[in-house]
Structure 1
Amino acid sequence: MVFFEDLKIGADARFLLQALVCRESTFLSTSFKVKTVAKQLCLTERLVREAAQELADVGLLVSRRRADQVGRPVQEYESSQLLCDLVTQAGQGEAVHRDLIVRLFSEPEIYALGPFSAGMGDACEEDDKPARKLTRKDGRPAAPGAKGRLAASTRVMLAALLSFADHCGVATGVGEARLRAMTGLNALSLKHQVRRLISLGFIRAHVPGVSSGIFVGAKVPTIYYLNLDHPQLCAARGACGLVVHVAQGPGKFDRLATGIPSTGALKALGPAALEMLYHKLAGHTSRLLSAVWAESDETHSEVTAAVAADIANDLGDLWVGSSAKDKGYYWAEMQENFHAAACEWADSLHRRLLRWKVWQGYRPQLVRLIPAPDRKDGLTITSLVVYPAPRSAVTCLVVWDKYDGRVDHYGREDDLDLALRCGAGLLTKA
């Protein structure tokens, strides 16, 4: 799926545009009416009418009035030559989650329901729901008949993040400016949609970007952890497996201290930079663990070298202390120690997985670590999302890695206790 970033149109118009492109044979090959599109996409006629006019204003649709019938002239739209050329030039796209993105724009039965929603088990359950408000916050009439479906602007935002996500749902390298260009949302609306997706469980968690000069070069973009196995997105069998590893182990500060021996230098970075550093470390560890779990010495060696190069690019000469260079200092051994910390973490996790006989014989193509939020009980929780899902009736494990520990087996992640999912960083309760 291709996002038309250069177009000056809003989120609703972008949703309609993508929906029309997804149903090219239905809508773009002939003229269409607002009422017909609204009915098929389960949108309000007002949204479709205003979005279609916005697309016509930028030359992507052509508006026509048919006066050859009895009564008022009928407003119809058809694709312009500009839109046909753009679709032809764009092609099909190579996004990892293209099928999910297409579904967001073509499947109306996706509801604004998440793990914290009442009636999660039945998206169409209407009992005990509060009465729908007659007006929206801006004073406009509320959309009639929406029936709790995921809003157009929310879908556009989720689709934009999915276009950057890997097979395990981790989206990196996309800044706020790029997301605004892809979605047509302003900065305030963008933040609102992120919070909305978090509250519904489509985004597990996110680590805000850092722009304080901690990393050499420029701003470090936000990291988003998406839930690809959300019930409103996936089929009965999820695309990924999950291991929740619970142990008495080093906390975030202790693990980072392996990479930055100076306690003073570590504290000087500040909480936002420390959190981003820890998730960066988890990202590099994920890549190493993927190679270790595959048990190929040649591949492991190549990946280890590649991770070392990536760490060098990520960190460069880490600046610590004051942002003014005449008051701070560099720590030249940061890259080597950071790489050693990632290798130790990956090896430790792999040994523990073998000890607890986690999915014996299974070889994941990709592993991504999701570190849990800080805890006060001394436990360290790290969730491992693996792709593809193991060929087993049990695709979710909780490993209580203690002296008297155990392994709990679940069919899928949804079967986990909600409190454990929140504590493990798999969900963020708004």
Structure 2
Amino acid sequence: MIIFGIHMLISLLSLDLGRLDSKARFTLASFYLRYEFTATGPITIDELAGCLGVPTRESANTLNLLVKESILIATAALAQRAGRLKKSFRIHDDVVNKLGIARLISRPIDLAPHFGAVEHLIKRPYIHATRPDVEIYSMPTVKAEQTRAAVPNRTSLLSRSNRLLLAVLSAHADRFGVVNSLGNVELCRLTGLEQISLKQRIKKLVEMGFIRRHVPGVASPIYAEKLKSSYVLNLNHRQITLGTDKIGFVVHECADEWADDVRYIGDVWFDLERWRNSATKHKYSLPELSTPASVLRLFRRAPKHAIEQLQFFLSGCVTDLLARHWEQLDVAKSDFFLGVRGNISAFFRKPMRDVEDASSLDETEIIDFLWEMTIQFARVCKVRFSRIDGLAWSSLNFRLLPSDLRLGYSCLGMLLDGGAGSGRMLREVGEHAGTTKITTEALCPAELREKAGLLTPARAKAV
């Protein structure tokens, strides 16, 4: 019954509710968690505000809007005594019908796994606006006789609009917290936020570590279709988990020089930057760079987030290779490698052209380069993660984390499904290596988390 109720909340957060702003939508979600489809009974606005954890004035405004837009029904109580007006509120029948239809066509429950996080973000009175390693669980003291919650301190608590945004993202995330099914227009519709406000809030949530990584969507002539924004939510943020990690993680750090010899998409970006940068003393020519000329010409004017979208896609290919073929990955020639090549080819628009003069590019060279690089990187990941004690990778469900393009590959990060409370870190220096178990992700050094993709660095550092 609890799962059904939370599933209905996720359906409620996914409904098209017209002109409701983010505050009204948060109030509606809180109302549902408190009353579901039953009526409140006679209650004042002040009392209802306390039950919903929303300031009285804001509650009065949002409830009026919800009634005006036929989302809620308000019925005045009969035979009232002198004092503040009491009304009974309930969710409108039309909304109930929409929820019934939405439940029939929405994705299965097991594909929306973060019910607890969604409920927590809406229902919990206080969520602090802090970095993920800050330990704050206490709430302001409220006297027992008080019937309404204290108004939150806006300077130290996460705003209700930001909480709603995180709840909507969590409702659409996979088991690892990855969201790539929502474009900005759709996200604005679901949250009631404006485009400018949405971008500012996402940036703030990334800075506070509630979102590990965000890559904006891109409509590029390079790719076969328009790509929606990608998000990786931090399911282990202490303000969401209350100190107990919900998902496992692994960090492998290699301090040896050979870690810098690993070629992956970050090196393509590095070559592209050197080729395009006219401010340097030495103007690099295409033959001087290790990335094939056809690849660099294809991405001649691509912004960073367009390359990051490719990185997200290729990291998914690496994850799929490792998860499906861990034991067979070292075989020189295998049929599943051809499947990866086909997926990479389908990711790009054909024919491939140089945007400067529309000349045709060598598609085979481009696809083969990215394909071989992906397979090689998957093999490197297998070697490095195999050295971590206590994990049978062939039987685990995991996802490789894409890190900042400029930070190199001395650190690699992996998220583990079903590995709550299990964190491991391995640091290799020469012949010395040792696996360290970590009880919570917040105890892993911040610098390693940034390099491994568990957090977005405050400022990208070139390596």
After superposition, residues 30-429 of structure 1 pair within 5 angstroms as: 30=41, 32-66=43-77, 68-71=79-82, 72-91=84-103, 94=109, 95-115=112-132, 120-124=134-138, 145-147=151-153, 148-217=156-225, 219-234=226-241, 236-247=243-254, 248-249=259-260, 250=262, 252-254=265-267, 262=294, 264-265=296-297, 268-272=300-304, 273-293=306-326, 307-317=340-350, 319-322=352-355, 327-333=358-364, 334-354=366-386, 356-361=387-392, 363-375=395-407, 380-389=410-419, 394-400=422-428, 402-428=430-456
Inter-CA distance 30–317: structure 2 relative to 1 (3 Å threshold)? farther
Inter-CA distance 360–386: structure 2 relative to 1 (3 Å threshold)? closer
Counterpart residue type for residue 24 of structure 1: Y
Per the alignment, residue 139 of structure 1 pairs with: none
Is the 1:31–1:76 contact (alpha carbons within 8 Å) kept by the matching residues of 2?
A: yes
Q: Any stretches of 5+ residues in structure 2 without a counterpart?
A: 1-9, 141-148, 272-289, 459-463
Q: What SS does structure 1 have at the residue aligned with 2:415?
A: strand
Cα drift, residue 284 of structure 1? 1.5
Inter-CA distance 67–173: structure 2 relative to 1 (3 Å threshold)? closer
Counterpart residue type for residue 169 of structure 1: G
Inter-CA distance 364–303: structure 2 relative to 1 (3 Å threshold)? farther
Residues 204-237 of structure 1 deviation map (CA, whole Å, 9 limit, x = unaligned):
12122222322133x3222211101111112543
Q: Aligned Cα RMSD in Å?
A: 3.3
User: What is the CA–CA distance in structure 2 between the aligned matches of 1:19 and 1:144, rounded to whole Å?
Assistant: 16
Cα drift, residue 144 of structure 1? 6.8
Inter-CA distance 344–358: structure 2 relative to 1 (3 Å threshold)? farther
Greater helix proportion: 2
Counterpart residue type for residue 254 of structure 1: D
Q: What SS does structure 1 have at the residue aligned with 2:238?
A: coil
User: What is the CA–CA distance in structure 2 between the aligned matches of 1:170 and 1:76, rounded to whole Å?
Assistant: 40
Q: What SS does structure 2 have at the residue aligned with 1:192?
A: helix
Q: What SS does structure 2 have at the residue aligned with 1:232?
A: helix
User: What is the CA–CA distance in structure 1 between the aligned matches of 2:78 and 2:360, rounded to whole Å?
Assistant: 75
User: What is the CA–CA distance in structure 1 between the aligned matches of 2:336 and 2:55, rounded to whole Å?
Assistant: 51
Q: What SS does structure 1 have at the residue aligned with 2:240?
A: coil
Residues 374-407 of structure 1 deviation map (CA, whole Å, 9 limit, x = unaligned):
13xx7533211121217xx752314436554444
Cα drift, residue 348 of structure 1? 1.8
Inter-CA distance 405–366: structure 2 relative to 1 (3 Å threshold)? closer
Cα drift, residue 336 of structure 1? 4.2
- Identity percentage of aligned residues: 23
Segment of structure 1 superposing worse, 105-114 or 9-18: 105-114
Counterpart residue type for residue 411 of structure 2: I
Inter-CA distance 173–67: structure 2 relative to 1 (3 Å threshold)? closer
User: What is the CA–CA distance in structure 1 between the aligned matches of 2:164 and 2:240, rounded to whole Å?
Assistant: 14
User: What is the CA–CA distance in structure 2 between the aligned matches of 1:318 and 1:96, rounded to whole Å?
Assistant: 40
Counterpart residue type for residue 221 of structure 1: K
Aligned length: 401
The TM-score with structure 1 as length reference comes to 0.81
Counterpart residue type for residue 410 of structure 2: T
Per the alignment, residue 135 of structure 1 pairs with: none
